[in-house]
Structure 1
Amino acid sequence: MVGVGGLFVMGGGFVPETFPQALGALSVLLAFVNVSGGFIITKRMLDMFRRPTDPPEYPWLFAIPGLLFGGGFIAAATTGMAGLVQAGYLVSSLLCITSLSGLASQATARRGNILGILGVASGMLASLAAVGFSPEVLAQFVGVAGFGSIVGAIIGRRITPTGLPQTVAALHSVVGLAAVLTSIGSVLVDLGHISTLHLVTAYLGVVIGGITFTGSIVAFLKLAGRMSSRPTILPGRHVINASLLGGNAALMGTFITMAPGAPMTAALCLGASTILSFLKGYTTTAAIGGADMPVVITVLNAYSGFALVAEGFMLDNPLLTTVGSLIGVSGSILSYIMCVAMNRSLTNVLFGGISSTTTSEHKIEGQITKTSIDETVDSLANAESVIIVVGYGMAVAKAQYAISEITRMLRAKGVKVRFAIHPVAGRMPGQCNVLLAEASVPYDIVLEMDEINDDFGETDVTLVIGANDTVNPIALEPGSPIAGMPVLNVWKSKEVIVMKRGMASGYADVPNPMFYMPKTRMLFGDAKTSCDGKN
């Protein structure tokens, strides 16, 4: 929807004629890259969850009401009907709300994705009616939007579930940059005659969008392995971040007071604030470790929504305000849920590392018990119930297909097999679910932590693949670095087999006593190689 904001800044003829108009066109192009790529990626990922026994679907039927609405809207627009644009915004907002509701459930997610497409299309149609473009500018819009959609479609078709987290981060950066360009362009159109509300919201759009842009780029680089996943701790980083925010605040005051009488000075303040926001996005995100990237992605998603809200107030557009609020609030709620799952506060994730409060040291005595692939196969084959716990290690080793084959063979023998997914497993929420769906693991046996945590005590064998902190019983001990963090009660199983490359600790750098328990056996090696050996 950020493209709607750019739409109101576009102008000229077949090509933009002024700098603000060029910014608006570029914003629309970036927005359509995000929209097209996002919807295609969502559809592809959701299609992986389809089962052979699922009833047929007829998504093309949604095109009938869509075409009827579009045709009726265009016909009414030619008559100059009063209130038509606001009615279009209302329909678009309702469709987007319904889309978000549908995406909350696996059973309705595909329908939710289609409703989202209809919501964006109807909102864009209403916005075109609001701006009243000339045929030349309309052709410019079609060309820019079409090119952006093609680029987004190419990205969406090429992405794999393993590369999903960094792609999401990259798309967030596109949204952030589009918000910055739209905000700057809307101000520069007529800086000498602009309301205070417009100035304030445009400035906030630049700040939030700028932080989102560079923060998302850093997240992309970390997730793609092009930048170290370790936190980049700058000397005096808190002072630096506070100074950057203070600079933004000071420039905001100067920008608002100088805009009417000294537009050049105000423009310089806006440009300087843009640079400070870009720096703030880098310094904040670079200091966050790779294990916290799932929360960073949801926070950046919320940022992009709030940037859209600022655009809505800036352009007096209720559609942008409504949709931006949906994105911002839903992203904030998901960030909170993720932080609770890690027993972390949001401020601790964004501005610190693992809590620096005094914690007790844990020295574990004893020896581990190693096992082999053959012994693991025997244990799984002789079990009546098996729970497989997967984590980031599965994604790194790309072991989902081998795991799926193991699951298929065990179920063919009558073994009850289920999967346990921790809320922060993988590099972004739902990544492990998508990877398993890609490998054709039935989603009805993939359960969340709250759904399966009480069943470990009745399970014959639990197979842990690529998980560490999320199965660490030290979280139950007061005073430990991860005290209070919800964990999977794997150690309650009758037998536990842990697949790891070595004995390295997880992100929290806390030893895991479960590895030394009598019922636990360690199978060292690459997860994919070990799983292939079981087939």
Structure 2
Amino acid sequence: MSVPRSLRSALGPCRAVPSAYPGRSLLSIKRPVVQPRHLPFLICSHEALSLPSWAKAAKRNASSSSSPSPVPVVPYSSLTVGVPRETYPNERRVALTPQNVALLRKKGISRILVERGAGEAAQLLDQAYEQAGATLVDRSAIWSESNIVLKVRSPQQEGPINEIEALRQGSTVISFLYPAQNRQLVESIASRGVTASMANIAGYKAVLEASNQFGRFLTGQVTAAGKVLVIGAGVAGLSAIVSARRLGAIVRGFDTRPAVREQVQSLGAEFIEVDIQEDGSGQGGYAKEMSKEFIEAEMKLFMEQCREVDIIITTALIPGKPAPKLITKEMIAAMKPGSVIVDLAAEAGGNCEATVPGQLTSYKDVTVIGYTDFPSRLPTQSSTLYSNNVTKYLLSMAPQEKSFGIDLNDEVVRGSIVTLNGEILPPAPRPAPSPTPKVEAAATPAKEKAQLALTPWQKATRDVTTVTAGLGTALALGKATGPIFMSNMMTFGLAGLVGYRAVWGVAPSLHSPLMSVTNAISGMVGIGGFFIMGGGYIPSTIPEYLGAASVLLAFMNVSGGFVVTKRMLDMFKRPTDPPEYPWLYAIPGLLFGGGFLAAASTGMAGLVQAGYLVSSLLCMASISGLASQQTARRGNILGILGVVSGILASLAAVGFSHEVLTQFGAVAGVGAVAAVLTSIGSVLTDIAHISTLHMVTAYLGVLIGGVTFTGSIVAFMKLAGPTMSAFVSMAPANPVIAATCLGANTALSFLKGYTTTAAIGGADMPVVITVLNAYSGFALVAEGLMLNNPLLTSVGSLIGVSGSILSYIMCVAMNRSLTNVLFGGIAAPQQAKKIEGQVTQTTVDDTVEALSNAENVIIIVGYGMAVAKAQYALAEITHMLRAKGINCNVLLAEASVPYDNVTLVIGANDTVNPSALEPDSPISGMPVLQAWKSKEVIVMKRGMSSGYADVPNPMFYMPGTRMLFGDAKTSCDAIKASLEARK
């Protein structure tokens, strides 16, 4: 049987094979002992056992043909837990550390008895146990007064006392087992892999022992670096690889399971394999017996490696069988004199033919280490890891709050019990191994990908078609329009080319500031309002009122856009950054403004066109400046200068009369609606003599501006509250969107902006915003063409093209097409999949415990973390964990970091949603961080609400996930305080 994923976190990293101690397991034992000659270690308990509240999601049924009747549950307040001193020769570990004594007392267990001197060999003094709340007693009191006895080794029948006979009637013993007397029990328990933390210690210590016996440095100094071969990439094997790499050795790893290749390579080792393709993955993380052909190829590979390497560490085990012989005496003879072999499978017979269990021997000038007590050689660390495991295992047996019991329907408990109520329970049957995936499944995508590849002829014809269409369009426009229009189109094309090239160089982290800058620059759409405001102090006609309103709204957008951009860029500023002097840019601004006004007092000449040129170039430089962190703030300032110079030149074009300046000062002080108002006002001003081209461009300005206006409002509402994030199902088409009058066009453009954006899920809003930004730019182009204004045409082209390219870049990053984002929600909605499972809650104390005991911690942060302002507390948590020697990785995007321990998710939802991997999901294809691959996932959230995409997250219901509900800042502060208290 395999351990459920959530309990793996409590019992240590259990996926891989516990190489050093094959047949051991945590067991529940019942007295009186039945047939002790067959089972030297049994546990007795009188409660129903199940997982605790934080792990009930992992509960699974285990069949049992002969299960005794249930026994009553006992509250913690009535329990006494005893910890005796180990009497097994050379055993220096202790089953419970002072830290976990305090935890058990905090959970409500009445008494914890510790034998005097129990922790001395592990450097854990009696005084520390007393301070943690334990009672120090003599040996006889442990066995006579304890309801539950925690041990490392099984109860001993020989020694100072017969521990089995001393067991209290109806008591429980939780310990490792030596089940060599019962092969069937070995096969059942070994597959569970609950001794992984001890295997981790064994792998580390194996490298140290080999290094001590090796005659030179492992790292390359005067001589070449030592070469280490690790056979078996389970917990012990991976630990050995890490330790050898840290010592500077060249490490090679071998395993019959292809799934561990990535783990071996991620640790910096070379993964070696045979030519025969055969999967050796067995049940419970163990390897299975391989075919005869594979073994022959394997032996040949090992012989080649023995001639090259200096140290071999073997960890290979097969459940229920003796350790396979992988290193023959012939191979040992082929090794260089002074080489070392460490056999971590020695207790199961050994992987090396020359291994003598428990001894250090030499064969053909090669040292063979067959120690069977590697964990006891690091007693403090081993005791800490074992104590953490056994404590969480004990606390998991809680069918009710603050109670202890046994539940034979629980797979974990059923697989651990040997006897109950005086009966020997048969081992629980192991599930059948999962079938090997078919090779054809992996070959299908490659075949499809090959069919999609373009031939050189297809690529060339597409390029020629594009060029031909462009030339033909330019020719048709030249014939159908006049010189002024084509002059503006030339400006549009050149500015668009600049925008196209500029956006490709922008760093992804600056996409949001880029959107803000382009949004601010698009506020120049209000410049068109200058020309229809009438020139008086107060508007007197409808067109003049529309022009004034467009200026008001546009310049609110300008000022707000640049302020927001500055705030976003300031978030990237570090204390170590060199000083900046943004106030110096006031010099060229004042020089241009003062010089422009002075020159205009003697005649305009070409000053307006010069102002348009300066404004266009500065706006282009602003977008280009957003390409990197070093130039981003300068780009924002250049954008401000560009907009101000454009306004100044436009005022000069209208005329610097006192009335014009007063009216401008009254109104300049959201953007796309300005294009609508300006276009309508321009048409109504001189409707009797309007041209067809003027009407077309005005129509486009109204349509695009209206769609952008209402679309922006819907996008804001979706992002402001997740309750509106779900896409709204819309009719496939709107047949009435064909009106010809400007009023109907305005209303319908507003409606179209709402319906299109409402049909898009909240997770796609960043793309929608960039598209709407591009719309506002093209609305500005339409206005520039309508007014024959080269400034509006060039700036609008710059914004429209840059927004379009940015939308494309974001869609590629999301593995989506732009048409799928914009129109995917218009189709009929799919039936949401029902998520089955149970949410498992956790506490701050359990979270701190998990983080403190982890070797690797991955922290995934999202928007919720920023809203809660928990980044400072999180930074201190990361610093404290690293100070404890824990490896921490803070991920904002997938970085191929192995999810092999604990992952802490703070304020993220859609970015860790496995639904994105499903083809029929609304967020299908969106890049996600695969946090669910970790043994233990802790999610920090206020509640169970979905993210902006409004798609439920099945990871929250997975067995390995625990939910820590509450404010992120409050929770992070509590975790920080608890970690500080542990110093």
Matches of 2:725 and 2:830, distance apart in 1: 25
Matches of 2:944 and 2:869, distance apart in 1: 20
1:287-298 aligned within 5 A: 287-298=759-770
Secondary structure of 1:66's counterpart equals: helix
Contact 2:566 2:633 in 1 (8 A): yes
Contact 1:393 1:527 in 2 (8 A): no
Matches of 1:74 and 1:209, distance apart in 2: 33
Is 1:84 the counterpart of 2:607? The answer is yes
Contact 2:842 2:963 in 1 (8 A): yes
Matches of 2:826 and 2:684, distance apart in 1: 44
- What does residue 453 of structure 1 align with? 895
Secondary structure of 2:671's counterpart equals: helix
Select the structure of larger CA radius of gyration. 2
Matches of 1:108 and 1:244, distance apart in 2: 48
Is 1:531 the counterpart of 2:969? The answer is no
Paired amino acid for 2:807: S
Shift of 1:206: 0.6
Contact 2:857 2:889 in 1 (8 A): yes
Paired amino acid for 1:131: V
- Aligned equivalent of 2:962, options 511, 518, 522: 522
Matches of 2:530 and 2:655, distance apart in 1: 11
Matches of 1:72 and 1:471, distance apart in 2: 56
Shift of 1:64: 0.8
Larger mean CA deviation between 388-397 and 50-59 belongs to 388-397
Contact 2:782 2:793 in 1 (8 A): yes
Contact 1:386 1:463 in 2 (8 A): yes
Structure 1 gap ranges (5+): 149-173, 252-268, 422-448
Paired amino acid for 2:720: A
Deviations 1:259-295 (A, max 9, x none): xxxxxxxxxx111211111221222223333333223
State the TM-score, normalized to the length of structure 2: 0.42
Shift of 1:396: 6.2
Contact 2:732 2:826 in 1 (8 A): no
Paired amino acid for 1:215: G
Secondary structure of 2:940's counterpart equals: strand
- What does residue 319 of structure 2 align with? none
Paired amino acid for 2:874: I
- Seen in structure 2, the aligned counterparts of structure 1 residues 270 and 368 have a Cα distance that, compared at 3 Å, is closer
Matches of 2:722 and 2:549, distance apart in 1: 27
RMSD value, Cα: 3.3
Matches of 1:221 and 1:368, distance apart in 2: 29
Paired amino acid for 2:749: S
Matches of 1:226 and 1:473, distance apart in 2: 19
- What does residue 628 of structure 2 align with? 105
Shift of 1:196: 2.2
- More RCO (CA 8 Å, sep 6+): 1
Paired amino acid for 2:617: L
Is 1:201 the counterpart of 2:697? The answer is yes
Shift of 1:338: 3.1
- What does residue 905 of structure 2 align with? 464
Paired amino acid for 2:580: E
- Aligned equivalent of 2:809, options 313, 331, 337: 337
- What does residue 394 of structure 1 align with? 865
- Aligned equivalent of 2:732, options 230, 238, 252: 238
Is 1:218 the counterpart of 2:714? The answer is yes
- Seen in structure 2, the aligned counterparts of structure 1 residues 85 and 526 have a Cα distance that, compared at 3 Å, is same
- What does residue 6 of structure 1 align with? 529
Paired amino acid for 1:221: M
Matches of 1:414 and 1:6, distance apart in 2: 64
Shift of 1:352: 3.3
- Seen in structure 2, the aligned counterparts of structure 1 residues 142 and 333 have a Cα distance that, compared at 3 Å, is same
Paired amino acid for 1:522: R
Matches of 2:944 and 2:915, distance apart in 1: 16
Deviations 1:292-321 (A, max 9, x none): 322322222222111111111111112212
Secondary structure of 1:464's counterpart equals: strand
Contact 2:914 2:953 in 1 (8 A): no
- Seen in structure 2, the aligned counterparts of structure 1 residues 230 and 505 have a Cα distance that, compared at 3 Å, is closer
1:269-280 aligned within 5 A: 269-280=741-752
- What does residue 33 of structure 1 align with? 556
Secondary structure of 2:681's counterpart equals: helix
Is 1:313 the counterpart of 2:313? The answer is no
Matches of 2:905 and 2:531, distance apart in 1: 53
Matches of 2:629 and 2:682, distance apart in 1: 40
Is 1:73 the counterpart of 2:601? The answer is no
1:348-427 aligned within 5 A: 348-353=820-825, 371-381=842-852, 386-394=857-865, 399-407=870-878, 409-410=880-881, 417-421=888-892
- Seen in structure 2, the aligned counterparts of structure 1 residues 85 and 459 have a Cα distance that, compared at 3 Å, is farther
Deviations 1:361-399 (A, max 9, x none): 8988x9887654223224434556644212344356564
- Seen in structure 2, the aligned counterparts of structure 1 residues 521 and 225 have a Cα distance that, compared at 3 Å, is closer
Contact 1:244 1:277 in 2 (8 A): no
Deviations 1:198-244 (A, max 9, x none): 2111111011111112222223333334973333335xx223xx324
Deviations 1:15-67 (A, max 9, x none): 22322122111211111111111111221232233222222211110111111
Paired amino acid for 1:406: I
Matches of 1:458 and 1:278, distance apart in 2: 47
Larger mean CA deviation between 81-90 and 195-204 belongs to 81-90
Secondary structure of 2:735's counterpart equals: helix
Matches of 1:201 and 1:89, distance apart in 2: 21
Contact 2:729 2:827 in 1 (8 A): no
Higher share of residues assigned helix: 1
- Seen in structure 2, the aligned counterparts of structure 1 residues 244 and 357 have a Cα distance that, compared at 3 Å, is closer
Contact 2:761 2:950 in 1 (8 A): no
Shift of 1:6: 1.2
- What does residue 724 of structure 2 align with? 228
Deviations 1:457-510 (A, max 9, x none): 287643222334433456556677655432224355675433346677764746
- Aligned equivalent of 1:135, options 658, 664, 684: 658
- Seen in structure 2, the aligned counterparts of structure 1 residues 3 and 505 have a Cα distance that, compared at 3 Å, is closer
Paired amino acid for 2:593: G
Matches of 1:358 and 1:273, distance apart in 2: 32
Secondary structure of 1:60's counterpart equals: helix
Matches of 2:750 and 2:921, distance apart in 1: 37
Matches of 2:701 and 2:782, distance apart in 1: 5
- What does residue 119 of structure 1 align with? 642
Deviations 1:405-457 (A, max 9, x none): 43454466676655322xxxxxxxxxxxxxxxxxxxxxxxxxxx2xx512x12
Secondary structure of 2:688's counterpart equals: coil
1:432-447 aligned within 5 A: none
Contact 1:385 1:417 in 2 (8 A): yes
Is 1:185 the counterpart of 2:625? The answer is no
1:5-24 aligned within 5 A: 5-24=528-547
Paired amino acid for 1:243: P
- Seen in structure 2, the aligned counterparts of structure 1 residues 355 and 399 have a Cα distance that, compared at 3 Å, is farther
Is 1:302 the counterpart of 2:774? The answer is yes
Identical aligned pairs, as a percentage?
Answer: 72
Structure 2 gap ranges (5+): 1-523, 977-983
Q: How many residues align?
A: 451
Deviations 1:98-134 (A, max 9, x none): 1112223222221111111001011111111222242
Paired amino acid for 1:219: A
Deviations 1:69-94 (A, max 9, x none): 22222222233353322221111111
Larger mean CA deviation between 61-70 and 390-399 belongs to 390-399
Larger mean CA deviation between 92-101 and 223-232 belongs to 223-232
Paired amino acid for 2:598: A
Paired amino acid for 2:718: K
- Seen in structure 2, the aligned counterparts of structure 1 residues 78 and 360 have a Cα distance that, compared at 3 Å, is closer
